Chain A
Amino acid sequence: MAMVSPATPDFKPSQNRRPDAPDRPEDSVPTRIVLAMQGVTKSYPNGRVALRGVDLMIPEGDFVFLVGPSGAGKSTVIKLLIREELPTKGLVLLDGRDLGRLKRRDVPKVRRRIGVVFQDFKLLPNKTVRDNVGFALEVTGTPRRQIIPAVDRVLRVVGLTGQADQLPGQLSGGEQQRTAIARALVHNPRLFIADEPTGNLDPVISWEIIQLLLRINELGVTVLMATHNADVVTAVRRRVVALENGRIVRDELGAAYHRED
């Protein structure tokens, strides 16, 4: 039975990262590319073309906002990354591995290298915070004695140690999202994907979540966040990739939500 690498989310900054320029891979020493999309086109069976020739590179340690109006193709990008969908044309490479040619039985292994959170948290209501997080390790065959310390560590990262034994129903929206983030982190993923993580949260809580994601990024995890939240994107000034009608219309570092010309 294939075992997952022991989950040890201590999030040491990777060696390739330079503290002074964490978001500028192009002027740093050769950096590993976590995600590469090359000429990706995706059309659905109903004829809708969601993506047209998308090229996107995300180096290790990057923090990327994926923005754009509804239907621009953000969700499709994420579905391709978690291999929920396959590209019609082009390559999607995670750590150099072509997701389009992945064998079915290798899909779970790739998913363990990606942590993903959604607008609707997707927590199991009858499990405690601790069990929800541990579930991700349990169902991938991690021994129990490794699960407990790993869960404790990620709960510390997201600041939920005190709520570990509560059920999702007893938590606020922000705490639920932090539980989901902890679960996504517990496998020590190469790429952390957040799909509208603040969509259900009020502005103050949204800020807390963004701060948490930035902190996780500082700990060395590559983050891709799809969002509509213009205030957050503009305030944080990170790399912004804007999609429109399935095309990348802008890819700027330290940018705002909207084009600033």
Chain B
Amino acid sequence: MVRFMAFSIRRAWHGFWKNGLMSLAATATMVLVLVLLAGLIILVTGLNATLDYVQSEVQVVAYLKDSTTQQDVIALETTLQRMPQVTQVKFVSKAQAYQDFLARHPGEADVINSLPNNPLPASLQINLSDPSNYVDVATYLNSEPGVDHVMNIQQTVEQLNTVIGVLQTGGTVLLVIVGLIVLFIVVNTIRLAVVARADEIEIMRLVGASDAFIRWPFIIEGAMVGLFGAAITNVLLLLSQGPITGFMAEYFKVLPVEASATVGPTIGLIVLGAGVGIGVLGSFLSVRSYLIR
């Protein structure tokens, strides 16, 4: 068994380097595939993170009249906190709202400063244990005199949800289609590498090599193609991590986390697994057609 393994690995290694051009072609195709895969995963992960973030955010915002007193606010807060549907209540003062606005729109400080006084209302931001409990809470808030109006973030979330759902489904469908096409390409590239050595396989069969002795070197070689492809892809991903984070920050502004930081190791593993898997599958399928007679 040890001898068999040593033989297979040695032959795979020699096979990979002696057929350099074919190995290069297969590895390059593999890298393309894996980069595509990683890109799609990053995109879908980004969308999911956005959704999660928005969903976890404040679900009901009650804007307060400027006339509302401190006591009124405390009373409101206390009542809200006693409601079983409510998980958290946060008071945002007018001054805080002003600061938040400045932080979010740094270029527009002049606009707000040109006004005689701070136009931003104070608000209560309320988190719900279950978004569908919105109606109860909203009804209560609307009946309170200190509340100017209630904004239902839930509606926004639902709309966003629909959009993201479409994007996710589309992304997944795209991923599957691209994955299949790419699997086909990689399998064919590996097949070419195997065909290039059809005479070797023929000789092995003639001299009485068992199927395992013929198959395993090629499978290990396929795994090597996957391994190298994954390594190169991961290096590329690592190098582009900065720009990707920038991209994410640009397009998913709401996203507070550095997506690539949390997603990085997982994607690396997925890329590795997919690379080796595709390589092994490709070799297996390619050699199979030579063995079944």
Interface string of A208-252 (1 = CB under 8 A from B): 000000000000000000000000000000000000000000000
Give Cα distance in the complex from A82 to B210, angstroms.
14
Give Cα distance in the complex from A138 to B207, angstroms.
10
Q: Is A109 an interface residue (CB 8 A)?
A: yes
Give Cα distance in the complex from A184 to B200, angstroms.
15
Contacting pair A139 B206 (CB below 8 A) = no
Contacting pair B210 A108 (CB below 8 A) = yes
Complex interface residues of chain A between 134 and 184 (CB less than 8 A to chain B): 135-136, 138-141, 143, 183-184
Interfacial chain A residues near B213, Cβ < 8 Å = 139-141
Complex interface residues of chain B between 190 and 246 (CB less than 8 A to chain A): 199-200, 202-211, 213-214
| Prevailing SS type, chain A contact patch | loop
Interfacial chain B residues near A112, Cβ < 8 Å = 207-208
| Prevailing SS type, chain B contact patch | helix
For the side of the interface on A, what is the size category?
Answer: 20 to 34
For the side of the interface on B, what is the size category?
Answer: 20 to 34
From B18, B199, B204, contact of A139 by CB (8 A): B204
Q: Is A261 an interface residue (CB 8 A)?
A: no
Q: Is B293 an interface residue (CB 8 A)?
A: yes
Contacting pair A183 B207 (CB below 8 A) = yes
Given contacts A122-B199, A122-B202, A122-B203, contact A139 B1 (CB under 8 A): no
Q: Is A116 an interface residue (CB 8 A)?
A: yes
From A1, A2, A111, A126, contact of B207 by CB (8 A): A111
Contacting pair A139 B4 (CB below 8 A) = no
Q: Is A84 an interface residue (CB 8 A)?
A: yes
Give Cα distance in the complex from A184 to B208, angstroms.
11
Interfacial chain A residues near B4, Cβ < 8 Å = 1, 141
A–B pairs, 28, beta carbons within 8 Å: A1-B1, A1-B3, A4-B208, A84-B293, A105-B210, A108-B210, A108-B211, A111-B205, A111-B208, A112-B207, A113-B208, A116-B206, A122-B202, A122-B206, A124-B199, A135-B207, A136-B207, A139-B204, A139-B213, A139-B214, A140-B208, A140-B209, A140-B210, A141-B4, A141-B7, A143-B3, A183-B207, A187-B207
